[in-house]
Amino acid sequence: MAPLFPIFLKLESRRVVVVGAGRIAAQKLEGLVEAKAEVVVVAPEAAEPIQELFRGGRIQWKRAAFEPAHLDGAFLVIAATGEPEVNEQVYRAAKLRGVLCNSVDEPARCDFFYPSVVRRGDLQIAISTGGKSPALAQRIRRELEEQFDSSYAAWLEWLGTVRQQFFERKVAPEARTRALHRMARRGVFERFRLYQWRKSQGGKNG
The 3-class secondary structure across 144-203, one letter per residue, is HHHHCCCHHHHHHHHHHHHHHHHHHCCCCHHHHHHHHHHHCCHHHHHHHHHHHHHHHCCC
206 pLDDT band, cuts 50/70/90, is very low
Output DSSP code: residue 19.
Answer: E
Mapping DSSP to helix (H, G, I), strand (E, B) and coil, where does residue 140 land? helix
Which pLDDT belongs to residue 134? 87
> 128 and 12 in contact (C-beta within 8 Å)?
no
The per-residue pLDDT of the chain, averaged, comes to 93
Q: What is the mean pLDDT of residues 58-84?
A: 96
Residues of the chain above pLDDT 70, percent: 98
| Pairwise CA distance, residues 20 & 47, whole Å | 10
Q: Residue 66: how many CB atoms within 10 A of its CB?
A: 23
pLDDT of 197 strictly over 90: no
- 133-188 tens-digit pLDDT: 989 999 999 999 999 999 999 999 999 999 999 999 988 999 999 999 999 999 99
86 pLDDT band, cuts 50/70/90, is very high
1 pLDDT band, cuts 50/70/90, is low
Q: What is the mean pLDDT of residues 64-86?
A: 96
98 pLDDT band, cuts 50/70/90, is very high
pLDDT of 56 strictly over 80: yes
Of the CA atoms within 13 Å of residue 96, those in its CB half-sphere come to 11
Output DSSP code: residue 38.
Answer: E
111 pLDDT band, cuts 50/70/90, is very high
Which pLDDT belongs to residue 204? 55
Output DSSP code: residue 125.
Answer: E
Which pLDDT belongs to residue 85? 95
Opening angle at CA 186, ends 184 and 189, nearest 5: 75
pLDDT of 82 strictly over 60: yes
Sheet holding 76-79, edge to edge: 60-62, 38-42, 15-19, 76-79, 100-103
